[in-house]
Amino acid sequence: MKKKKTKVKKSIKHLFLGILILLIIFNAFIYLKYWPTVTYLYKNATVKVNNCSEDTFKNRANSLNNMNSSYLQSNQIPTYVKNAFVAIEDTNFYKHGGVSIKAIFRAMYSFFANGGEITQGGSTITQQLARNVFLNFDKSYDRKLEEMFIATKLEKKFSKDQILEFYINNINFSNGAYGINPAAKKFFNKDCRQLNLSQLCLLAAIPNNPEYYDPIKHLNNTLQRRNLILEKMKENNYITNEQYNNAINYKIVLDLSKN
């Protein structure tokens, strides 16, 4: 019995030793193959964030809207708009440091569940800002990693209110409108501060997929996502049941008279 136990112990030791050696080899391989790329992307992200300022985001919004962006400071953006984007895009926005570990794990699960296809980005609002302003929309691992580096650095340089302000003023609302106020004028012919909860949530529905949720071409799609946003806002206690019911039943009528 003692000999058998000794053999079992030796086998277990050999097994763990073998696993340890494999892990060391694997980590060395990863380090040698990918570390230069990681270092390069990190340096790139550092340079981009170090060289940006509030004017970077304001000037971009002006440029995208032909120098007529109606850029809004954080305190000018309706609270409903801020809460709508946080509720639907990044519920932990005020808690994370630019990257959400939970979202990354969800994206990894989706990746393996879908046979290696990237179906979920796991991007926070800050990452989306990084992608929109500094990068592109390629579904590559290099781009994703640099996006994460930029996001974490943006969080250290700017406040949450600033980041949300930059995001809401720079995202694509389709039909050549970038930012919430140009979108309000494009689709309702009003300043966004004159719109109600339902109208604002309709606008907040567009940036997730500006073509699919284009309210001029696909209003039903936009309304469905508006309804989802309202549900998320209610779940997160941003609005009451009464506000939800009033908004969900409000009949949206676009005003395209000045387009």
Average pLDDT in the chain: 85
What pLDDT does 111 receive? 53
> Is the model's pLDDT at 139 over the cut of 60?
yes
Residues 6+ apart with CB under 8 A from 231: 244
Q: Is 110 in contact with 148 (CB distance < 8 Å)?
A: no
Rounded Cα distance, 156 and 158, in Å:
6
User: What is the model's pLDDT at position 84?
Assistant: 98
In whole angstroms, what is the distance from residue 85 CA to residue 169 CA? 12
pLDDT tops 90 at residue 229 = yes
Residue 101 has pLDDT above 50, yes or no: yes
Domain ranges of the chain: 1-50+94-163, 171-259
> What was the pLDDT predicted at 117?
46
Torsion angle of C-alpha atoms 228, 232, 234, 239, degrees rounded to 10: -90
CATH superfamily of 171-259: Biosynthetic peptidoglycan transglycosylase-like (1.10.3810.10)
Confidence tier at 23 by pLDDT (50, 70, 90): low
CB 210 within 8 A of CB 173: yes
Around 56, how many Cα atoms within 13 Å sit in the side-chain half-sphere?
16
The pLDDT assigned to 120 comes to: 46
Residues near 37 by beta carbon (within 8 Å), at least 6 away in sequence: 142
Distance of alpha carbon 197 from alpha carbon 245, whole angstroms:
11
Residue 131: pLDDT above 80? yes
Residue 118, pLDDT > 50, answer: no
| Across 80-89, 113-122, 128-137, least confident range | 113-122
pTM for this predicted structure: 0.81
Q: Does residue 100 carry a pLDDT above 90?
A: no
Q: Quick check: 75 pLDDT over 90? A: yes
Q: What is the dihedral of CA 74, 60, 160, 42, to 10 degrees?
A: -170
- Tokens 């046979």, residue located: 115
- Tally of helices (H runs) and strands (E runs) in the chain: 11, 0
